[in-house]
Structures are given as C-alpha cells and as structure tokens.
Amino acid sequence: MTSLCFIVESGTDVRLVEGLAARFDLSILARRIVGGVEISHPPKCVVPIVIGPASRLKFALLVWRHLRAERQQIDRVMVQGYGLAALAANLAGRSNRMPTAMLVCSPVENYYRCRKAHAVKGKPFLRRELYILQALARINALVGRQYIVLSQHLAGIVRQHGARGSINVIPIYGVDTGVFHPPSESKSVIKARLGLPTTGALIFFSSRVAPEKDSETLLAAFRTLLDKGRDLWLLHRSGGYRDFIKDAERFGIAARVIATDAVHPHGQLSLDYQASDLCVQASREEGLGFSPLEALACEVPVIAATVGGLKETIIDGQTGWTYPVGDEDALAKCIEAALNDPAEAARRTAAGRKMVCAIYDERVVFEQLERMTWQGGEPEPVHAIAET
C-alpha cells in the first residue's frame, strides 16, 4: 500500500483521516493546537501521529527535518494549506524528489480579512500578518508542484497566487450518504428522542464561531422572525458554542437557542440534520461548505450566502435558497419562503441529494484522490483543472 504522510498545520476532520487511512498507509505529523484538538474526534482506526510544537515556525522546521529523515519510508506527502508548513514540505519534496501536494480547504487570506471588520477577542486584524499570508501563498505557488482543492472557487484562488503546478479539484472528505440520508421516521419522533423541542420549526447552524462564518446575520434574521411571531428554534453545534450563546443573549434570543459542543459525525450529527426543518450556512467567505451538503443528503432544505464555494452547490431555485452576504432581511425572507412552501422545499432538497450523491459522495471523491496523478521531480506545466 502506498505510504502517505499527511501534515496538519491547523487541525483536521476525523472523516478525512479515516478516509485516507482506508486507502493509504497513513501517518500524520500535526502541529499542536493549544486549547483545541489536532483531529476533530479520535479516529476509529490506528494511525501513527506525531504532535509537533505549537509554534508555526518550529513546526515548519520539524516538517523539514521529518521529511528529510523519513524520505525512504514516505511515498507521498499531502500538506494542509499554503503556509509555513507547506513551504517546508514543498522544499523538502523538491530536495527529495518526493511527490507533494498542498490540500487547500479554505481561502486563508480571505478568511483573515474578515477579522478587519468582524474581529473576535484574541484574534485582531494585523496588516503585517495578512502580508505574510499573501507572501507565503505566492512563494508556495512558485515552489509547489501540486494542489488538491475542494472547489472551483479555491482553484481560482490558487491560480491568483500564481500556481505553476497542477490543480486537482477533489472535494475530500466528501459526504457519507449512507450515514447522511433522509429520515425513516417523522421529525417529531427524532426531535423527542434527542430532547429537542417538538413544536415550531428547528433551524440548524453547525458552523464554528469565527469572523468568516457570520453568525451575527443569522441571529439578527432569527430575531426578526421571532418578533413577527414565528415559532422557531435555533440549534447550534460547535466548539465555540459558548460564544454563540453569548451572542444569542446579546440579540435577546437565548431562550430559543439550543447550543452544545460539536457531536461526532458518525453518531448524532446525522440525526441533528434529520430532526431539523432547515439548515442555514451564513458565511462571509467559504471554500466549499460541507454542512449544506450533509443537510441536502438528509433532504433538509438549505439556505446559504452567495459566496465562494457555496455558489457551486446551493443554487437558488434548484438546490436551495440564497441571499447576499450580510443581508439579514433577505435571509429572514428566505427562511420564511422555505418554511412556508414544503412542496417546493422537497423539490429542491431532492435535487440537492441527487447532486451530493453524484459529485460529493465520499466514495466518489476518495476514488478521485486514488486516481490522481501525483507530481514528482521538477514542476510540470499547468494543465487543465480536473472537474468534480
């Protein structure tokens, strides 16, 4: 089996780890996440994991030394993002003639710009940091041989960096449509089993609390609808749920919010979708957005901001409802439209599940990864981008 070293600089999802481990002889080198976790949940498979220092610079140096020392045991390298760790991996790959690909899941500098107008405590916007992110993106574009990106939007981002290597659009880790599927029993039964309110409509928001995720617009729209007399509940699952509760208190809607830590994707998460009447993806920037895809796989109506990779999956009138970024009134109208017309919601969600099964199913996307031609040696000329 081909050996793959996955370098994780900013934490990763257990589904990606398990999907890679099923197809490669996987090892992981991860930067320590202070106050967080390197992998979202413990994987069910045994994977050798080395946890490096929290400092990005020290971690990059460890990446260089590790890849140099283990070059005889590693066939391929996949490194997260296009930061310092990616630069170290790309330089080591050139030196070792080792196939190395950058896995790009988000537009890092665009996410960072969101801090300028929507900073959170402990994460201020610093122009010099933005310049460093932009410089690293361009340097990696020059020295890197290959990208794996989740969406055409991200393919465009790395092209803007000046990418010289190949760009492969593969939306890993995909959606397990065997786990995320339409419910076999009524929503009220599922809600009761999960201890959720059985009256009113339940809206699911599973994004982390971060400047790029725009929970404020959702909370404002939710408050507007409550003031109009709509019987609504808002469900939130993420590691930042305590901040979400504080924001809900600020909007005066905490009594209608159920918020807890993130649940395991192989366990309760699919039930949360199945219990929900609507899923909202409120984002200021987005690389792809898996939550809307998981919701559609469960045939739950989706509303999403028209931004980034969301524009490739949530098409107004076809697979969901869309609204302009930050427009709370438009979002409120979309929520009402989706809840007021169950037949239309069912039509759009059926089309959405068909799309997810055809393009974003985990088996489909991991098969694409297995078929991908890995670039070794000197960079090859830019070739046509692979379609999803």
Domains and CATH numbers, the chain: 3-174+363-371 (3.40.50.2000), 187-359 (3.40.50.2000)
333: helix, coil or strand?
Answer: helix
**Sign of torsion over alpha carbons 359, 313, 24, 86:** positive
Strand partners, 102: 79, 147
pLDDT at 118 (0 to 100): 85
CB-based burial of residue 336 (10 Å sphere; 0-12 exposed, 13-18 middle, 19+ buried)? middle
Hey, which bits of 98-191 come out as E strands? Answer: 100-104, 146-149, 166-169
pLDDT at 113 (0 to 100): 94
pLDDT at 164 (0 to 100): 86
Structure tokens at 280: 């909202």
Q: Rg of the chain over CA atoms, in angstroms?
A: 21
Contacts of 170 (CB under 8 A, 6+ apart): 148, 149, 150, 365, 368, 369, 372, 386, 388
DSSP-derived letter for residue 109 is H
pLDDT per residue, tens digit, the chain (388 aa), is 999 999 999 999 999 999 999 999 999 999 999 988 999 999 999 999 999 999 999 999 999 999 999 999 999 999 999 999 999 999 999 998 999 999 999 999 999 999 988 877 777 889 999 999 999 999 999 999 999 999 999 999 999 999 988 999 999 999 999 999 999 999 999 999 999 999 999 999 989 889 999 999 999 999 999 999 999 999 999 988 999 999 999 999 999 999 999 998 888 999 999 999 999 999 999 999 999 999 999 999 999 999 999 999 999 999 999 999 999 999 999 999 999 999 999 999 999 999 999 999 999 999 999 999 997 644 433 333 333 3
325: helix, coil or strand?
Answer: coil
Which uninterrupted H or E stretch holds 52?
A: strand 49-52
Structure tokens at 364: 């489909």
Helices (H) and strands (E) in the chain, counts: 15, 13
Structure tokens at 258: 């159920």
pLDDT at 383 (0 to 100): 36
Report the distance separating Cα 385 and Cα 366, nearest Å. Answer: 17
Report the distance separating Cα 117 and Cα 45, nearest Å. Answer: 42
DSSP-derived letter for residue 373 is P
Q: What's this model's pTM, rounded to 2 decimal places?
A: 0.93
Structure tokens at 312: 């490739």
Report the distance separating Cα 320 and Cα 338, nearest Å. Answer: 9
